[in-house]
Structure 1
Amino acid sequence: MSRRGPFAGHYPVVATMVVTALIPYLVLSAALGPITPIVQQQLGMSTEQINLATGLANAGYALGTVLSVQLAQHLPQRRMLIIYALVLVAGSLLAASATGAIQFITGHVLQGLCTSLLLIAAVPPLVTGFPPSKIRYTAVILNLSIFGAVALGPLIGGIQANYHNWRPLFWIIAGISILALLLVLLTFEDIPPADLTSTRSPLAVSMAAVGCIAAFYGSAQLLTKQKIEAETLGPLIGGVLVIVALLIQQYHSKRPLLIIKPLTTTMPTSGIVVAICAAAASVSAITLSSVLLQDRYSPLKLGLLYLPEFGGAFITAILFAILFTTKGLHYFALVGLACLSAGIALLAVDMPPSTIVVLIATGLIGVGVGASVTPALFIAGFSLRNAALQRVFAIVELMRAVAAFMIAPVLLYVALNVGSSATAGIRTALWVCLGLSVFGALVGVALYTLGGVRPPKPALLRWFGGEAAWYSPPLLARLRPNASTEAPEV
């Protein structure tokens, strides 16, 4: 194998590689809803099997964030990227050509797992491996690749459902996966392992695997059975507890795989809280509203109603590029949560919402999630050295994935089983979503205030030089007698 591909170091090609690696699963995660009945019918899958496919694929996505970091420490990173892309292609081909439930579930789970493996392996080098002048473009690409792809999912799924077919979408996704593999090869650079001296962490990976699989299996069973019983609550609650135990174990570990302790200062903690609340509230609100409206509109028309979400994400990406290197980055995340809260409130107040209300609300949700999650991620990343960015992305994506993909099924269960009607139950669940969004904003503001933070401008040259882009005070610094809100003198 050549040690350097013909397009290695070419920013546009490397950026395109990242986009094609992320799009397949993220589009499918939002597009499956409208075509799920068609997949079930044509493959002879039960409701439990289709829910299991979605749940385990989401579990694979969450697990991949931890596994990718572990593998990057001891194995050549770009060679592993080729393996991830190859397995993504295999999974996409399996799902597209599936003739039964086992083949489809296997392929879709591989898609989820490999997408997060590629995300953690490919995105941080795109951020830190090019000059500071490129980081604005990277931020926009990351925003649109993750949230733009998800926002387009309902429309893409609606188009497929309109033609009563699902395979063309899956074959297109497989084609994009093959393109991603080709671009990985063309941009290949033989990068060594991140840290051969680091401790192997089989316990952390095992806990992540057990926690993610159990929690998402439990949420899938809850959707299927619509009953509160040991078979559903046991795995769900047990899995969440294992993930919490993982975070605690990594916090106290002398040589952790996931860097929890450095993130427990004011700004990264605030950023993580914002990202978790925004992800949980936005995904749940879109899921709940689609269930409410699916009997009023055809899948295609419903997909068109959610198109403003992509428009909001696109506008947000442009504004993000303008504010990215200013202190406005911090306020932008707060504005995002405010827009997200407004969009959810519109859906909850007018039940069932009119067409105009849905269009405005989904646009606000698109602006809200795009303006909150990615800025929050970089607020956490800039608070540490850039060498830690891969591990920061991993922990944020793990927690975001658990919040986004697991809370939505739980709230959907609440919506369908609480209240005098489905409409009343969905309204109740939407108010919970609104509460999550408002809670994230209030906690973020409170942590900044009690930490004595004046939102700073990121010092990008210092960050690219190996230091943090700003000083993040200890948590609750103003309430702690020996804590300082000012950066220590060097």
Structure 2
Amino acid sequence: MRQGPLAGRYPAVAAMVTLALIPYLALSAAMDPLVPIISAQLHMSAQAMSLSSGLGNAAYAVGTVLAVQFAQHLPQRRMMLVYAVLLVVGSVTAAAAQNGGMFICGHVLQGLATSMLLIAAAPPLTIGFPRENLRHTAVIMNMCVFGAVALGPFIGGVQAESHAWRPLFWIIAAIALVALVMAALTFEDAPPADLDAPRDMTAIGLASVGCAAAFVGASQLTSHGFGDLAVSAPMLGGLALIVVLIVYQFRARRPLLTIRTMLTSSIPVAGVGVALFAAAASVAATALTAEVFLQTFSPVQVGLIYLPELGGAVVMAFVFGFVISRKAMHYLPLVGMALLAAGILLFRMALPANQPLALVASALTGLALGATVAPALFVAGFSLQSNSLQRVFAIIELLRAVAAFMVAPIFAYFAASASGGLTQGTDDALWIGFWLAVGGAAFGVVVYVLSGARPQTPDLDRFLDGESPAWYSPPLLARIRRGVPSPVVTERAAASVPEHQGASESGGPVLIAYDGSERAACAIRQAAAQLSTLRDAVVVCVWQPVDVGFIPTGAGHFDADQATEVRRAAEQTAAHGARLAETAGFTARGAAIEAAPTWKGIIEAADRHHASLIVVGPHRRSGWLGHLEGSVAASVVAHSPTPVLVVPEQTGAWLSPELERSRA
């Protein structure tokens, strides 16, 4: 496998990610004061400039989906080099643009390449290095996204003061070139994630057409009214297609994006919801107030007003790095929403030209952005297995782009067309932003309460090893949904299965989860000893590329990145488990199931085979469900409608002491 001279070195890889993400994100935030200058030099109308921003943002949103699809079938690190080249080409094209068409093409390439680099480079930086580097990754991710955005207004104001725009764009192109060089130096060849994965052109088509239509429609607000067909038709039609994309991925048997897993689990839903509310609310706090301040202050003075936002983002980035391994991580987005609401209120008081209050409001907004979106993203990611992190990032960035970049022109339109003028319109928009911040905080709290979710200390070792999520996330709204008991009720229900009961009246087979470990083999033997009537059994080995998910029983070597080789090893492991079950007295057959997380594959296999009982043998560990239950077993117990027999490690009893006490 070919490698660059700096491959595997965390500082170099972190620098590459930082340089790849900053150019477009900082430039997007710096554009507003440069629009009149660019328009005059390239003979572009205000509508054309708005269309350029809309298409660039649409490309950013679509790139998240494309990057996930490409990762399945194309060498991942080689594609990262391609994305870096596209970023350089787009940046040079925009900087050297001689007309509006050339400028728009360059800006679209910048947006597309940036999101692809984010999806391709950020997850490996997160899970590809030891645990002690994770806090540094948290700081870097926060700074790359929100530090760059916070710095944008100051950079744009300084550049606008000189009545030029190309120097900034050439600097952006130079940074992109350095990012390409670092991508080559840190290159570490990696195969496609799963050559057998479907090519989901439907998902790509829905994302592409939906985002393009929605953003183009929103950009038309520069010269059209909200009720005009040129605005409403593409914008509402595009949003409808994005909703169709989510529903389609939710129902798909092998989805490109992990929509179903995220939207049926409480903590990911809370995290995604908070991120979207924060992205939408922050638009009112920054973009709109800047327009009002420009009526009184020069562009560079306005840039200085928003410079404390960068300081706040830096401070909160380090706070996030500190709490990422602690239970307090769950509370950070809630604190961020409170800070955002306070910052918006201060911005209202600062209008039209109170500079001291605006500086304080800017600092609070920076703290808020650093405490909300990136932490919420990791909160959602930690709720799934680490091999889903790329898809989690893609989903959140897709939805965040829609929430932030579409809300901005809508808010700007209503502020500019308000009967009381721009200041009064911005004041009204700030009230909307305030209630979005309050509503986002309330949404997260309500989801936790109604689902029975609890703040937990993340088990980062198991997460980074790919064994399980970092914590347990109960089903969405488990406390109030019919047929979906709360976590405590489900745990007790598992304990209430009568001892020695082998199967329900349906007479279906026993499904045994087997991962090749000695504890799983022990579970097979103990299940045979405890069940009064032996019957057919299906021994299931759940696998996934990269993280594998089982201990191979054969002596042969296989490449964990090659899905076909992992599947073959999983089939051999399942067959070995079936032989153990036959020896124990079952009539058994093996089955290899590709799924992530593991518990989901076990439950789906039980449903597919109409199993009457699931047998699992968890690791010893401490945690929310007790000292003997493992996270996979806990999730199976919490989610499965089929009775679950939990066989503790190295014991003859099939119920843990905790579960037996809960029956008393």
Question: What's the TM-score once normalised by structure 2's chain length?
Answer: 0.73
| Counterpart for residue 330 of structure 2 | 330
Residue 149 (structure 1) shift = 0.3
- Distance (whole Å) between structure 1 residues aligned to residue 437 and residue 289 of structure 2: 16
User: 2:41 aligned with 1:42, yes or no?
Assistant: yes
* 1:454-465 superposed matches below 5 A: 454-465=454-465
Residue 228 (structure 1) shift = 2.5
- Distance (whole Å) between structure 1 residues aligned to residue 187 and residue 350 of structure 2: 52
Q: Give, as a single letter, the amino acid of the residue that structure 1 aligns with 2:255.
A: P
| Counterpart for residue 71 of structure 1 | 70
Residue 255 of structure 1: SS of its match in structure 2? coil
Q: Assess if the C-alpha contact under 8 Å between 1:8 and 1:186 holds in 2.
A: yes
- Distance (whole Å) between structure 2 residues aligned to residue 395 and residue 17 of structure 1: 23
Q: Assess if the C-alpha contact under 8 Å between 1:415 and 1:426 holds in 2.
A: yes
Residue 161 (structure 1) shift = 0.5
Residue 188 of structure 1: SS of its match in structure 2? coil
- Distance (whole Å) between structure 2 residues aligned to residue 110 and residue 201 of structure 1: 22
Q: Give, as a single letter, the amino acid of the residue that structure 1 aligns with 2:18.
A: V
Larger strand fraction of residues:
2
Q: Give, as a single letter, the amino acid of the residue that structure 2 aligns with 1:449.
A: V
- Distance (whole Å) between structure 2 residues aligned to residue 227 and residue 407 of structure 1: 13
| Counterpart for residue 270 of structure 2 | 270
| Counterpart for residue 394 of structure 1 | 394
Q: Assess if the C-alpha contact under 8 Å between 1:284 and 1:404 holds in 2.
A: no
Q: Give, as a single letter, the amino acid of the residue that structure 2 aligns with 1:68.
A: A
| Counterpart for residue 258 of structure 1 | 257
Q: CA RMSD in A?
A: 1.1
| Counterpart for residue 381 of structure 2 | 381
| Counterpart for residue 469 of structure 1 | 470
Residue 479 of structure 1: SS of its match in structure 2? coil
| Counterpart for residue 307 of structure 1 | 307
| Counterpart for residue 285 of structure 1 | 285
Residue 152 (structure 1) shift = 0.3
- Distance (whole Å) between structure 1 residues aligned to residue 487 and residue 74 of structure 2: 40
- Distance (whole Å) between structure 1 residues aligned to residue 225 and residue 180 of structure 2: 40
- Distance (whole Å) between structure 2 residues aligned to residue 170 and residue 198 of structure 1: 39
User: 2:358 aligned with 1:358, yes or no?
Assistant: yes
| Counterpart for residue 367 of structure 1 | 367
Structure number with the bigger relative contact order (C-alpha 8 A, sep ≥ 6) is 1
Residue 226 (structure 1) shift = 4.2
Q: Deviations over 1:326-371 (max 9, x none)?
A: 0100111100000001001112244325101110111111000110
- Distance (whole Å) between structure 2 residues aligned to residue 17 and residue 283 of structure 1: 28
Q: Deviations over 1:207-240 (max 9, x none)?
A: 0000000000001101233452001111111111
Q: Give, as a single letter, the amino acid of the residue that structure 1 aligns with 2:227.
A: I
| Counterpart for residue 235 of structure 1 | 234
Q: Assess if the C-alpha contact under 8 Å between 2:225 and 2:231 holds in 1.
A: no
Q: Give, as a single letter, the amino acid of the residue that structure 2 aligns with 1:475.
A: L
Q: Assess if the C-alpha contact under 8 Å between 1:222 and 1:228 holds in 2.
A: no
Residue 204 (structure 1) shift = 0.2
Larger helix fraction of residues:
1
Residue 419 of structure 2: SS of its match in structure 1? coil
- Distance (whole Å) between structure 2 residues aligned to residue 59 and residue 169 of structure 1: 23
Residue 420 (structure 1) shift = 2.4
- Distance (whole Å) between structure 1 residues aligned to residue 487 and residue 303 of structure 2: 48
Q: Deviations over 1:118-176 (max 9, x none)?
A: 00000001111111111100010000010000000000000101111111100000000
Residue 384 of structure 2: SS of its match in structure 1? coil
| Counterpart for residue 177 of structure 1 | 176
Q: Give, as a single letter, the amino acid of the residue that structure 2 aligns with 1:291.
A: E
Residue 331 of structure 2: SS of its match in structure 1? helix
Which of residues 471, 479, 486 is equivalent to 1:484?
486
- Distance (whole Å) between structure 2 residues aligned to residue 320 and residue 185 of structure 1: 30
Residue 484 (structure 1) shift = 3.1
Q: Give, as a single letter, the amino acid of the residue that structure 2 aligns with 1:468.
A: P
Q: Assess if the C-alpha contact under 8 Å between 2:266 and 2:448 holds in 1.
A: yes
- Distance (whole Å) between structure 2 residues aligned to residue 200 and residue 338 of structure 1: 42
User: 2:86 aligned with 1:87, yes or no?
Assistant: yes
| Counterpart for residue 434 of structure 1 | 434
- Distance (whole Å) between structure 1 residues aligned to residue 251 and residue 464 of structure 2: 29
- Distance (whole Å) between structure 2 residues aligned to residue 389 and residue 468 of structure 1: 10
Q: Give, as a single letter, the amino acid of the residue that structure 1 aligns with 2:111.
A: G
| Counterpart for residue 294 of structure 1 | 294
- Distance (whole Å) between structure 2 residues aligned to residue 171 and residue 484 of structure 1: 56
Q: Assess if the C-alpha contact under 8 Å between 1:347 and 1:353 holds in 2.
A: no
| Counterpart for residue 444 of structure 1 | 444
| Counterpart for residue 109 of structure 2 | 110
Q: Assess if the C-alpha contact under 8 Å between 2:65 and 2:204 holds in 1.
A: yes
Q: Give, as a single letter, the amino acid of the residue that structure 2 aligns with 1:173.
A: I
Q: Assess if the C-alpha contact under 8 Å between 1:124 and 1:390 holds in 2.
A: yes
| Counterpart for residue 2 of structure 2 | 3
| Counterpart for residue 425 of structure 1 | 425
- Distance (whole Å) between structure 2 residues aligned to residue 436 and residue 420 of structure 1: 23
| Counterpart for residue 413 of structure 1 | 413
User: 2:138 aligned with 1:120, yes or no?
Assistant: no
User: 2:138 aligned with 1:136, yes or no?
Assistant: no
- Distance (whole Å) between structure 1 residues aligned to residue 371 and residue 210 of structure 2: 30
- Distance (whole Å) between structure 2 residues aligned to residue 271 and residue 25 of structure 1: 25
- Distance (whole Å) between structure 2 residues aligned to residue 80 and residue 405 of structure 1: 27
Q: How many aligned positions are there?
A: 489
Q: Assess if the C-alpha contact under 8 Å between 2:119 and 2:394 holds in 1.
A: yes
- Distance (whole Å) between structure 2 residues aligned to residue 393 and residue 227 of structure 1: 32
- Distance (whole Å) between structure 1 residues aligned to residue 107 and residue 180 of structure 2: 17
- Distance (whole Å) between structure 1 residues aligned to residue 435 and residue 349 of structure 2: 14
Question: What's the TM-score once normalised by structure 1's chain length?
Answer: 0.98
Gaps of 5+ in 1: none
- Distance (whole Å) between structure 1 residues aligned to residue 113 and residue 335 of structure 2: 33
- Distance (whole Å) between structure 1 residues aligned to residue 302 and residue 479 of structure 2: 49
Q: Give, as a single letter, the amino acid of the residue that structure 1 aligns with 2:304.
A: L
Q: Assess if the C-alpha contact under 8 Å between 2:224 and 2:230 holds in 1.
A: no
| Counterpart for residue 17 of structure 1 | 16
- Distance (whole Å) between structure 1 residues aligned to residue 114 and residue 331 of structure 2: 30
| Counterpart for residue 149 of structure 2 | 150
Q: Assess if the C-alpha contact under 8 Å between 2:12 and 2:186 holds in 1.
A: yes
- Distance (whole Å) between structure 2 residues aligned to residue 148 and residue 209 of structure 1: 28
Deviates more, 1:116-125 or 1:427-436: 427-436
Residue 423 (structure 1) shift = 1.5
Q: Assess if the C-alpha contact under 8 Å between 1:51 and 1:224 holds in 2.
A: no
Gaps of 5+ in 2: 489-633, 638-645, 647-664
| Counterpart for residue 316 of structure 1 | 316
